[in-house]
Amino acid sequence: MDQLVPSEKYSPYRFFSAQEWAGFRADTPLTLTEDEVRRLRSLNDPVDLDEVRRIYLSMSRLLSAHVEASQLLFRQRQVFFSNDGAVKTPFIIGIAGSVAVGKSTTARVLKELLQRWPSSPKVDLVTTDGFLMPNAVLRREGLMERKGFPESYDVGQLLRFLSGIKSGQPNVRAPLYSHMTYDVLPGEYVAIDRPDILIFEGINVLQTRDLPKDGKVVPFVSDFFDFSIYIDAEEDLIHKWYIDRFMRLRETAFRSPESFFHRYSQLSEDAAHAIAEGLWQNTNLKNLKENILPTRPRADLILRKGPDHLIQEVALRKL
């Protein structure tokens, strides 16, 4: 049975149309302007204030309830432990989904909304790109064609980062990544200093792997999440969005001599389109089918997009 079909009797999810979901915003205030949304959205992503009203305000209200419940449970545990002085650790939200599906826009818009709650929480955003192994290592290991696959990440570094965050350590460093050079920036980091909420975004953040046979504790990235979101769409739509974005970048960012993909800006349109199709078929589609899509049922919230790149359906895991 497919538990992600709304008609499935035994699905662990509740399903809502975008219109139904919009009704759950209640009195959640709209704190963003059209100019701010325009600044936050990614290339070729049409999200606007109407989409914020329809989808993101209800999502902000839902997350507010989850954060408050987490804080209440922490206070109750403090009573249980006779107020031992422990400090509440960050609430971590994981955002997963394919390339070109709109994860970055969702993460940035959500961050802006969350930090404008009346309580003014401190909200940080980190992507998994910085935890990719450097290109020099990927080349040496023969993994450049599998960049973005689970084996291309420094999983140890990634888990140490999340362990530090979830244990309440100050100034935990996350490595930085340049989409211009298509590589990790050597020796450059951002320090994450005990935020109230951390948004952790990346294609494989809900990924699992084989369990150790000796029973040793080897956590998954998602073990550190308090809430997880998967951005979803039909394969043919993601394919189209990826190609459209590549061709748009060919006319913009790729024209910079510093860009890793600068050579593609010099090609004819047909040749560049063929390159984009090859990258999609040989790398991104394989990663989607083998590693990303199988993690979708592990999410707490699934946002399903339609042909216009806007959310059409929301699936929320039942309690």
Measured distance CA(252)–CA(318) in Å, rounded: 43
For the domain made up of 13-317, the CATH class stated in words is: alpha beta
pLDDT given at position 210: 74
Dihedrals phi, psi of 112, to nearest 5 degrees: -65, -40
One-letter amino acid identity for 12?
P
C-beta separation of 227 from 66 below 8 A: yes
Measured distance CA(190)–CA(183) in Å, rounded: 16
Stated pTM of the model: 0.95
Measured distance CA(207)–CA(227) in Å, rounded: 15
C-alpha angle 246/249/255, rounded to 5°? Answer: 130
C-beta separation of 104 from 44 below 8 A: no
- Please give the average pLDDT of every successive group of 10 residues along the chain, which has 319 residues: 72 96 95 96 93 97 96 94 89 97 97 95 97 97 95 95 95 97 96 98 89 77 96 98 96 94 94 96 96 96 97 96
Dihedral angle sign, alpha carbons of residues 15, 20, 25, 30: positive
Longest CA–CA span in the chain (Å) reads 70
Q: Any idea where the domains of the chain sit in the sequence?
A: 13-317
C-alpha angle 171/174/176, rounded to 5°? Answer: 135
